[in-house]
A and B are shown apart, each in its own frame.
Chain A
């Protein structure tokens, strides 16, 4: 996973609440058993008029925001379906971060696993952000705004860690736990 430390990029505003993962990657765009090949279908329902003809009203099709690497949104971004394809699509398109008032829980965790930073800011702070936004994860700032983030998520992102590899370092403790648990809760096995 690519580590996330600092990033300066174009921030495209999609300022609605409750943008769900069906919108980010419509189910009909998930055509193969794969984590790739999804960028083209990202936001397909709004991004294209039909047959992949661009909708000029959609923010990512406007000159100012082409090549955007940061998304701005409202409350509960990424709610709905657990499909990690939404995150894989954003990542493949080139997004590195989403700044919103709040996030869907599963989407947020999927982002951490894939090196995409989710930052929660107040609506008033998001409104002040310009077209170019500067993020410093170690310092936990977006331009002049400070954000909070659980330590584990920050470490995973900054160091670009693979969760499975990391957990396997606790293999001895895990094995010992299961041995004991089989005695404590035999009905569960």
Chain B
């Protein structure tokens, strides 16, 4: 519904929350005496600061004092009657991993979450975007949000990605190409052969990084891959409702004559395994490349790197596989394939935290945990874990970490920690070699 102010009041179909920013929104609702309009369409999980120890208890946080977020969220969830996915529940995991996994994100739905990586869920053809806590309160109480229609951008990825090149590499390549502000607050549609060929997991990775180049969100048109992924998921419609949904969803695509505010083309063949060297996701180069000349001396100093040096010369002290970007079963399979029969280099602390307890169980059923542990990786319980630092256990200051996460900001993984963003296979290969390494160089 158009408002006089020039915004639109739009209906919100699903709200997802987590204990870090959702707790404030829920408490505020409780204190104001307001109520959720449709509590069964609101979900809350515990992911950001929960302990990642396999033997964790229901209130255990990985950050000192973090238990207050967990207990407050649990209480407020019960008071408001929304769906709670608690620390020890079988479904627990990172919001952007479990929402698709449970079939909560669906094509054509509007879905919001006070978390910037909500754009990930556009991979299902949902209009999903990150908001603040106040807007989360607004969405829960009114069932709507006041939104300024974002400008539209399309990025068409033509052709086929090279062997060994992942959705993460493509995401970093795109951000490197257009810059950290390159998406200009647009809703970005990813299209083209390379995107159509991707699994839902890969699409989730690609869409996940959209916020890192200043997109309002990202979206991919639903297709046969989407329907086959969603079919039979717990919260997906069933029977006649499924058929009716499918009839609608298959109409959700861009018309051939559609005009975008920005229409870009990327050649898939130009994308190589890509790794960041600096403190912005745009500060990235192909893995066989060199750290460029730059005026950002602060980034060079923080990362302790020099212009002109080869990226692959950099020795690492840490390796992390996890986060809403790359912690799904296909990510773990790809990393395990590299790690199988190898050991992590001496002096490298290597950690893998599956994105959800479902992923963890699936990986264990396939024996992937054995491969990770035999290689010298820690094997954690689901959550956001080492993607960001909020106090508590992390890598030592100054450690160079190769990480399958989404942000390489100064101090993101801990004070003085130097984060290089990469795909899970690059992380696995680098952990074995003890330096930044192209997976194709690991002996089979």
Select the stretch in B238-246, B342-350, B375-383 that faces chain A. B238-246
Most buried by B among A31, A109, A188: A188
- Which residues on the A side are within 8 Å of B106 (C-beta)? 188
Is A160 an interface residue, CB under 8 A from the partner? no
Is A141 an interface residue, CB under 8 A from the partner? no
Complex CA–CA separation, A109 to B133 (angstroms): 11
Q: Considering only CB atoms, which chain B residue lies closest to A114 in the complex?
A: B134
A23 near B409 with CB under 8 A, answer yes
Q: Is the interface of A mostly helix, strand, loop or mixed?
A: helix
Is A106 an interface residue, CB under 8 A from the partner? yes
Q: Beyond A106-B131, A177-B11, is A84–B214 a contact (Cβ under 8 Å)?
A: no
Select the stretch in A6-14, A64-72, A121-129, A148-156 that faces chain B. A148-156
Complex CA–CA separation, A110 to B146 (angstroms): 12
CB distance from A114 to the nearest CB of B (A): 7
**Contact digits for A162-189, partner B, Cβ 8 Å, 1 yes 0 no:** 0110111010011001100100011110
A113 near B148 with CB under 8 A, answer no
Is A102 an interface residue, CB under 8 A from the partner? yes
Chain B interface size, as a band, is 35 or more
Complex CA–CA separation, A22 to B142 (angstroms): 30
B131 near A35 with CB under 8 A, answer no
A109 near B132 with CB under 8 A, answer yes
Complex CA–CA separation, A79 to B389 (angstroms): 17
Cβ-defined partner of A33 (8 Å) among B72, B241, B391: B72
- Which residues on the B side are within 8 Å of A85 (C-beta)? 21
B411 near A45 with CB under 8 A, answer yes
Q: Considering only CB atoms, which chain A residue lies closest to B137 in the complex?
A: A164
CB distance from A153 to the nearest CB of B (A): 8
Q: Beyond A45-B415, A187-B237, A187-B241, is A167–B144 a contact (Cβ under 8 Å)?
A: yes
A150 near B132 with CB under 8 A, answer no
Is B125 an interface residue, CB under 8 A from the partner? no
A174 near B181 with CB under 8 A, answer no
Cβ-defined partner of A113 (8 Å) among B116, B134, B214: B134
Is B258 an interface residue, CB under 8 A from the partner? no
Is B354 an interface residue, CB under 8 A from the partner? no
**Contact digits for A59-93, partner B, Cβ 8 Å, 1 yes 0 no:** 00000000000000001100111111101000000
B11 near A82 with CB under 8 A, answer no
A80 near B409 with CB under 8 A, answer yes
- Which residues on the B side are within 8 Å of A76 (C-beta)? 180-181, 214
Is B305 an interface residue, CB under 8 A from the partner? no
Is B248 an interface residue, CB under 8 A from the partner? yes
Complex CA–CA separation, A164 to B68 (angstroms): 27
- Which residues on the A side are within 8 Å of B415 (C-beta)? 45
Complex CA–CA separation, A185 to B245 (angstroms): 8
Is B102 an interface residue, CB under 8 A from the partner? no
B21 near A82 with CB under 8 A, answer yes
Is B318 an interface residue, CB under 8 A from the partner? no
Is B5 an interface residue, CB under 8 A from the partner? yes
A28 near B391 with CB under 8 A, answer yes
Is B412 an interface residue, CB under 8 A from the partner? yes
- Which residues on the A side are within 8 Å of B211 (C-beta)? 79-80, 106
Is B86 an interface residue, CB under 8 A from the partner? no
Most buried by A among B3, B118, B215: B3
- Which residues on the B side are within 8 Å of A84 (C-beta)? 21, 24, 114, 132-134
Question: Of residues 18 to 56 in A, which have CB atoms within 8 Å of B's CB atoms?
Answer: 18, 20, 22-23, 26-28, 30-35, 45
Q: Beyond A18-B180, A106-B131, A152-B146, is A170–B9 a contact (Cβ under 8 Å)?
A: yes
Q: Considering only CB atoms, which chain B residue lies closest to A105 in the complex?
A: B185
A105 near B410 with CB under 8 A, answer no
Is A143 an interface residue, CB under 8 A from the partner? no
Q: Considering only CB atoms, which chain A residue lies closest to B116 in the complex?
A: A82
B390 near A28 with CB under 8 A, answer yes
Knowing that A79-B214, A113-B134, A187-B242 touch, tell me 4 more A-B residue pairs with CB under 8 angstroms. A33-B27, A35-B28, A109-B132, A163-B134
Interface residues of A (CB under 8 A from B): 16-18, 20, 22-23, 26-28, 30-35, 45, 75-76, 79-85, 87, 102, 104-106, 109-110, 113-114, 150-153, 155-156, 163-164, 166-168, 170, 173-174, 177-178, 181, 185-188
Interface residues of B (CB under 8 A from A): 1, 3, 5-7, 9, 11, 13, 20-21, 23-24, 27-28, 34, 63, 65, 68-69, 72-73, 106, 108-109, 114-116, 118, 130-135, 137-138, 141-144, 146, 148, 150, 180-181, 184-185, 211-212, 214-216, 237, 241-242, 244-245, 248, 280, 298, 388-391, 407, 409-412, 415
A/B interface sample: 29 pairs, CB < 8 A: A16-B298, A17-B181, A18-B181, A20-B407, A22-B388, A22-B409, A23-B410, A26-B411, A31-B65, A33-B23, A33-B69, A34-B24, A76-B180, A82-B131, A84-B21, A84-B24, A84-B114, A110-B132, A113-B135, A152-B7, A152-B146, A156-B5, A163-B138, A163-B146, A167-B138, A178-B143, A185-B108, A187-B242, A188-B109
> Sorted from nearest, which 10 A-B pairs have the closest CB atoms?
A152-B5, A27-B390, A110-B132, A187-B245, A84-B132, A187-B237, A76-B181, A152-B7, A113-B134, A187-B241
